Amino acid sequence: MVTAKRPPGWPLLVALTNGRSRIPDDRLATAVRNRVVLVTGSSYGIGEATARRLARAGATVLLVARTADQLSAVADDINAAGGKAFAYPTNLADPAAIEALVRTILDEHGRVDVLVNNAGKSIRRSVADSYQRFHDIERTNAVNYLGPAKLVLELLPSMRAQRSGHIVNVSTAGVRTPPMARWSAYLASKSAFDVWLRCVAQEIRGDGVTTSTVYMGLVHTRMSEPTPMLNKMPGLSPEQAADQVCTAIAQRPNNITPPMVRPADVLGNLFRVPTDRLFEVYFRRGDRSRKPRSAE
């Protein structure tokens, strides 16, 4: 992982811009012990760190991602440490694969108590570089919006029937702040699922199914590493990000949002035109990182 030299006061800067939240181990254990928790994107990064902490707290963790070998390695490691984990390699961009996944999981475990929609695809590309790459928009939406929505739709009938369930959406603070050039496909897809789930939440809360959204700040993972400018910015480690996800699971808040995002959200709406102009100037000047970046 690429990291820049950290100046004095770096931890405070990280906390102010990205937030810090860690549920105590005993409270997490009370919330998840003997519960079945499905975590997507759990072969690396935030998903892996979340799965490991949940397993230590006594949850039965269902690991879902595309990378079969790495997923099995994480499951084996968790089980060797005394936890309980099961690996389910799945392409979450394939609706039929999601249907098969849920059938298998419900057959083998009977239920899913908590769903953590964490898997994602990040892409940073200018519109000029996208004229012949409409497939980038399709793929990004498949992973960040359509796949998570399909997974929720497949699991909701059983959650509503048992009148219990919790859905955690690992989103990005970028959907709450003014839009930025080059991030159009990524932010649009994350915003789409964010709004979709907020609408659905109004329909399912009365059936005992709750939702939480973690508007995650910058996290230094494989997904952010291809973009050099992000490596210089204050961000969380995967473990710190996992702490926020675990807090959402245990406390079930409506959302977890970094401290600096709320005022940025308000100011961005109050001063929409000048804010857009400011980002336009930034884009025109360039950030010395013009090559398209994509990761998932």
131 belongs to the catalytic site: no
Burial-class residue 205 by CB neighbours within 10 Å (0-12, 13-18, 19+).
Answer: exposed
β partners of residue 282? none
Whether residue 267 contacts residue 24, with contact meaning beta carbons closer than 8 Å, is answered with no
> Catalytic residue among 88, 186, 215, 282, which?
186
Assign residue 286 a region: left if phi > 0, alpha if psi is -120 to 50, beta otherwise?
A: left
Whether residue 233 contacts residue 189, with contact meaning beta carbons closer than 8 Å, is answered with no
For 271, the 3-state DSSP assignment is coil
Assign residue 177 a region: left if phi > 0, alpha if psi is -120 to 50, beta otherwise?
A: beta
Burial-class residue 163 by CB neighbours within 10 Å (0-12, 13-18, 19+).
Answer: exposed
Whether residue 39 contacts residue 118, with contact meaning beta carbons closer than 8 Å, is answered with yes
Alpha-carbon torsion angle 219, 225, 228, 233, nearest 10: 20
Active-site residue set: 186
